[in-house]
Structure 1
Amino acid sequence: MTTQEWSATESQLLAGALREFAQQTHFPVVFGGFVTADGVRVSTVLGSRTRSLEGLIVRPDRGLGGRAVTELRPRMTNDYGSSRQITHDYDGAVLGEGISTLLAVPVLVGGRARGVLYGGSWVASTVGDVVAAPGFRIAETLATELRVREEVERRMTAFGHIRSAPAPARAGLDAQQREELRASYAELRSISASVTDAALRERLASLEQRLAGLSGEAVVQDAASSEVTLSRRETDVLACAAIGATNAEIATTLALKEGTVKSYLQSAMSKLDASTRHAAVAKARRLGLLP
């Protein structure tokens, strides 16, 4: 996956997540890395006293992190050196740093581990929910960022041949292609609603605009001068309605209350001077607001 165009590379995202991990959990040593063909390659270490953890590669099902990757759930030990629940392949690195208490939290994307965040302490201590819960949330946030990036790249690849096609070819989309494009547009809208990275949201918005112009449907000549402007949420809701989603389904997709969805939909209908959601969708498409 290409990441150079994002505001932050995956390595920078990992480093940011680990800094937050340390701040929120108060572990003095934090480290982590992404899953590679060889295992979890530790690429970032913060707060360590030695360099023993640098470059460590943790294989699946080996050590604490390997178990977290295999079992797809956090693992913890408050006495790493004497633990009988893990293999001790990495004692040289972990004990070399003097770590006793260790927490390993997998970063799960699409049902598979993409990386591991570790928190360690030089003294034996019990890690309760108050300490661990922030670490879980940070891993989930990192997973969301990675999932968004992967999905955007997948969508861009899928529609790359359409974007580069000449105008006559674009107009030749068949019904199935057009519906797939509209479903992709609605999905991207729902994904971007959860993104906090400003640069990533800007790129998503650019992609959405390109998709909106690929349906090949006729657009009214005065679309450019139309005074109709939908808010971001109104567009989100209308995009979902355009692919047949009910208010309840839209609410679930966009993490809104059903009443809020209804309010946004009514507002969009009013702006578009439409008496039904179907008429609103048709008008939005004619104005080039939806694909």
Structure 2
Amino acid sequence: MARRADTASDLSLVHGAVTELARRTRFPVAFGGLEEGDAVHITSIVGARTRSLEGLVVHATRGLGGRALVEKRPRLALDYRSSRSITHDYDRAVLGEGITTLLAVPVVVGARARGIVYCGSWSAAPVGDGVARPAFAVAEALSTELRVREEVRRRLAAVPHAAEASAMAPAAREALRESYAELRSIAAAVEDDTLRDRLAAIERRLAALSHDGRHEQDADMRLSPRETDVLACAALGATNAEIAAQLDLREGTVKSYLQSAMAKLDASTRHAAVARARRAGILP
């Protein structure tokens, strides 16, 4: 069930990127999809006048997108019909839509091309910075979100194994705390509400794993999300500068969050604040 939810969420993410691609490049047609088994399945189409692009599956090395996929760099056909630098396996779909100029931009996550986004026009059109830069920016944003999601899923999958142990060794406890702090920093970059809610649920599980259920009860011990983020990093011994770099904040902002958290926890030092937050079940 979770896997289906992940897939649906990713497809929704792609659709958002394709919609943004059409809006920002002002090319009339945009489409795209994610890679699965050495082929990209086109799942989102915006602005098409026909249904010829529906169900299109682009295989590695084939067509304009297939080249972009294996080369991991954008590919352009100013006149798709007459282009000699690509195979024409998908002429029926592309020319059937009436596309003349087509730009294919791979979505690269790490060392792997995870998908392709396209934008095209029905007549020959120049592809200058006004088209290329927005297209690259959309692909990069999609790449970043997919990378974050993959890391989140990897960490979520590892959590049940940690929960199996009733007595946690010091090394395991420290690893749990590191995972918690990193999940907090990842969550800060996630825009999808559903995924953020799942992260929040797993963070609560992580925080509870190292406790026996007997937490201090204090209505004032409620930290803001950013105060919790900063305190979770401080719990690992990070300096203000290191916390700022990890959370993409200013060092002065980190100091302000720490002071606020310390005041709420009635602690005079960051170490005392961490200790009380752990006793309260706020941190693992």
Same fold (TM over 0.5): yes
What is the RMSD computed on CA atoms of the aligned residues?
2.4
Aligned AA (2:14): L
Contact 1:226 1:287 in 2 (8 A): no
Q: CA deviation at 1:226?
A: 4.7
Q: For structure 1, which segment, 192-201 or 207-216, has the greater mean C-alpha deviation from structure 2 after superposition? A: 192-201
Matches within 5 A, 1:142-181: 142-163=142-163, 165=164, 169-170=165-166, 172-181=167-176
Match of 1:232 among 225, 233, 253: 225
Question: Any conservation in 1 of the 2:215–2:281 contact (CA below 8 Å)?
Answer: no
The offset of 1:222, in angstroms, is 5.8
SS at match of 1:45: strand
Contact 2:230 2:254 in 1 (8 A): yes
Conserved in 2, the CA contact under 8 Å of 1:7 and 1:200?
no
Q: TM-score, normalised by structure 1?
A: 0.87
Q: Is the 8 A contact 2:109 2:146 kept in 1?
A: yes
Task: Give the match for residue 18 of structure 1.
Answer: 18
Distance 1:6 1:36, change over 3 A: closer
What residue is the counterpart of 1:211 in the other structure?
206
User: Where does residue 261 of structure 1 map in the other structure?
Assistant: 254
Change (3 A) 1:30 1:95: same
Q: Are the equivalent residues in 2 in contact too, given 1:35–1:113 (CA < 8 A)?
A: yes
Q: Which runs of 5+ in 1 are unaligned?
A: none
SS in 1 for 2:209: coil
Pairing partner for 1:286 from 252, 276, 279:
279
Contact 1:3 1:10 survives alignment (8 Å): no
2:237 aligned residue: 244
Pairwise mapping of residues 170-209 of structure 1 onto structure 2 (< 5 A)?
A: 170=166, 172-209=167-204
CA–CA separation in structure 1 for the residues paired with 2:252 and 2:75: 40
Corresponding position of 1:223: 216
Question: Bigger CA drift: 247-256 or 271-280?
Answer: 271-280
Gapped regions of structure 2 (runs ≥ 5): none
Q: CA deviation at 1:153?
A: 2.4
Aligned equivalents of 1:50, 1:227: Cα separation in 2: 60
**Between the two proteins, what is the percent identity of the paired residues?**
62
2:111 corresponds to 1:94: no
Deviation digits for residues 117-164 of structure 1 (CA, Å, limit 9, x no counterpart): 11111111111222232333322333333333323322222111334x
Which residue number corresponds to residue 118 of structure 2?
118
Moved more, 271-280 or 29-38: 271-280
The offset of 1:190, in angstroms, is 0.8
**Could you tell me which residue of structure 2 aligns to residue 274 of structure 1?**
267
Displaced runs of 4 or more, over 4 A: none
Deviations 1:177-225 (A, max 9, x none): 1111111111111111112222322221111111101124x67x56123
Q: When the two structures are aligned, how many residues end up with a matched partner?
A: 284
TM-score norm. by structure 2 comes to: 0.89
Separation (CA, whole Å) in 2 of partners of 1:258 and 1:70: 41
